[in-house]
Structure 1
Amino acid sequence: MFHPSAGRRRGAVLAQALAQALARIPAQVPALALAALLVTGPARANDSAAELDAGGLVLVRDADIALLSEDLRVGLDRIAVDYVFRNRAAEPKRVRVAFPLPAIDGATLSFSALSLPFEDRANFVGFTVTVDGAEIRPELEERAYLGEREVTDTLKRHRLPLNPLRRDDMEKAVAALSPETRRALIADGLLPEADGPDGALWRLDAKFHWEQVFPPGRDLAVSHAYVPVKGFHLLDMREAAGREYRTRYCLDDAGLRGVKRLSERMKTPDKLVYAAVVPYIVTTAKNWAGRIGRFTLTVDKGRPETLVSFCRKGVTKTGPTTFRWEANDYAPDDDLRVLFLSGDPAAVGIK
């Protein structure tokens, strides 16, 4: 989602351009799905809202706790993961489990077009978790840094939100500062110059965590879900055909032909196609004992006419909008970015 406040951030220029284009686009496009090998990389920096990487659960490495299976489901508006663990020791294991939230770097993101799914709350991705079907309430740890220096206490003292992208709260908090305090925070590098754009220059590192008992000799089911922080960009055929883009998002010849058909159906003079990128850090699973016994990835593109490109060989189409990839004895190596393309901005979550 793009933040609607024009004039406050340079990223709002793209949001305005997208809004102006809405009335000129076709509602339907032909169906095509793409699947290939993904090479990690960010979305275009010149006109996009950067996606924020998140992934799965993390725990201190324990040689006795094995990950028997992981079922990952990726969509534009929801990521859900089901794990089955087994403690192979003869006694219970008490381990702290964490879910790191994507880092929020205010120095770059404050002035971007990026908006969080739930900007008004600390749990900005709507993270939920259950253990053996029962919902639990993990603790949330939030810390703010300017470079390597922690500034959490400073921000709390001045009642500034730790998350730089809580823009409405930030605007109110900065407006409530005395002129002397604001000048001091500017001099300290926490706020931009008074005559510059609004924003915050620190970084938020946050994680949910809880202490989990893994009973001996039986399976333990842990599930969690959250809303991904997508990146958006506008794509023309020249960039889509470039080697860098095709490598980054795994567009083979058939995929490129699909993008061309989308572009040709656009009624705008520039023939730009709407793109969204959903990231997922697969490699966090390396901290379990050994490999993942069975790994299943399901990607849902939402609408049959939307194009999707993601990186796995041997993908099976399982429905009008769903694709599946499976592996046994799996050692995660590359993180995942799923590219969604459409002629309709609403189909890829642009609002």
Structure 2
Amino acid sequence: MIRHWLFAGALLALPFGAVNANDTTAQLAAGGLVLVKNDAVEMQSEDLHLSRSRVQVRYVFRNTSGKDVTLRVAFPMPPIGGPGFFMQDVSIPVDAPANLLGFATRVDGKPVQSEIEQRVFVGDVERTAWLTANHVPLAPHRDEARAALGRLPAAKRAEAVRLGLIDDDGEPAWTLRVTYHWQQRFPAGVPVVVEHGYTPSVGGTVATMLGEAQGDADTAARYCVDAPLLRTLRAASRAGRHYPEQWVDYVLVTGGNWKKPIGRFRLVVDKEAPGDLVSFCGEGVRKIGPTQFEMTKTNWRPDKNLSVLFLIGR
């Protein structure tokens, strides 16, 4: 057996949604599994089902090298914290220090016990050891971290300020990067089915500007809003009806790390409520049910991420 210890060394810097007003909640972008490029394992298929309440992904991998290999597979959580983080109302769906999306994995139908890597950075400088040595919890968005900072002796608190761990408002200023990872055996020529699911971070605002007189060109471009949808929104606005926006981002480009392009890719976006509207950038999208829309690709290597706009009917 050939054994490789491969890890996605550079953790992904996943983008926040734009935040412009007090009535807006920002979302955190997550995505799929990460593996450094290798010459052994192909992603034969990926089935991605995305809604505001759940992201579920099913992969089929095959090792075509002729020899069994063991690779380290990783799922990076969206980074938490950093400059300006506490100036935003950020959607964190699960109250767990290290698993804020409720991430879980099965391989060939059996649950996987993942290892967890947690690292703290101020800019590009790692400060995990300092926080651990001073008994400060690593999750900057939780009250326990603020309380621990408040208990620091004056000299240690001054040191934390010098290191950039505390900002001018006294808030935690570091970024926490969490990665779930495990070693996965890929037998030669045998399909391996990997499934994972999590609760997405959903951003939103109380009313869309699409269809209003002033418009919103940036949102229209980001989500590929077409003319018929704009006409629907204009008619609703004239009738005094205004749709709230919600957004979910998904990092697709990690699918480019495998041996070959994804053999078969299927995306299903579910708006969940028939009265809601949805828009996202894609080719060949078709409606397959009252609330579901499908896009399929073959031999595909994604080169950009997915952003989905939901407009909430009332």
Relative to the length of structure 2, the TM-score reads 0.88
What is the 5 A alignment of 1:139-154? 139-154=115-130
Partner of 1:185: 160
Equivalent of residue 120 in structure 1, options 91, 96, 102: 96
Q: 1:72 to 1:186 in 2, by over 3 A?
A: same
d(CA) in 2 for partners of 1:140 and 1:338? Answer: 29
Q: 1:281 to 1:94 in 2, by over 3 A?
A: same
Q: 1:239 to 1:141 in 2, by over 3 A?
A: farther
Local SS of the residue matching 2:30: coil
Equivalent of residue 307 in structure 1, options 260, 277, 285: 277
User: Structure 1 residue 187: deviation in Å?
Assistant: 3.1
* Match status 1:208 vs 2:185: no
Equivalent of residue 46 in structure 1, options 9, 20, 41: 20
d(CA) in 2 for partners of 1:342 and 1:240? Answer: 20
Give the conservation status (yes or no) of the 8 Å contact 1:296–1:324.
Answer: yes
Q: 1:129 to 1:320 in 2, by over 3 A?
A: same
* Match status 1:332 vs 2:302: yes
* Match status 1:225 vs 2:197: yes
User: Structure 1 residue 343: deviation in Å?
Assistant: 4.5
Equivalent of residue 280 in structure 1, options 250, 260, 278: 250
d(CA) in 1 for partners of 2:98 and 2:140? Answer: 11
Q: 1:336 to 1:253 in 2, by over 3 A?
A: same
d(CA) in 1 for partners of 2:102 and 2:304? Answer: 25
d(CA) in 1 for partners of 2:191 and 2:214? Answer: 46
Partner of 2:148: 173
Q: 1:119 to 1:159 in 2, by over 3 A?
A: farther
**Structure 2 residue runs without a partner (length 5+):** 1-14
**Structure 1 residue runs without a partner (length 5+):** 1-40, 345-351
Instruction: For 1:91, give the aligned amino acid.
Output: K
d(CA) in 1 for partners of 2:217 and 2:137? Answer: 42
Give the conservation status (yes or no) of the 8 Å contact 2:91–2:203.
Answer: no
Q: 1:242 to 1:111 in 2, by over 3 A?
A: closer
User: Structure 1 residue 142: deviation in Å?
Assistant: 0.5
Equivalent of residue 298 in structure 1, options 268, 283, 286: 268
d(CA) in 1 for partners of 2:16 and 2:131? Answer: 30
Instruction: For 1:173, give the aligned amino acid.
Output: A
Structure with the higher fraction of residues in helix conformation: 1
User: Structure 1 residue 240: deviation in Å?
Assistant: 7.3
Q: How many residues align?
A: 296
Deviations 1:137-178 (A, max 9, x none): 110100000011111011112222212222x22232233333
Local SS of the residue matching 2:161: helix
d(CA) in 2 for partners of 1:181 and 1:266? Answer: 56
Local SS of the residue matching 1:107: coil
d(CA) in 2 for partners of 1:231 and 1:69? Answer: 29
d(CA) in 1 for partners of 2:224 and 2:215? Answer: 11
Local SS of the residue matching 2:233: helix
Instruction: For 1:250, give the aligned amino acid.
Output: C
| Runs of 4+ residues deviating >6 angstroms | none
Partner of 2:45: 69
Relative to the length of structure 1, the TM-score reads 0.79
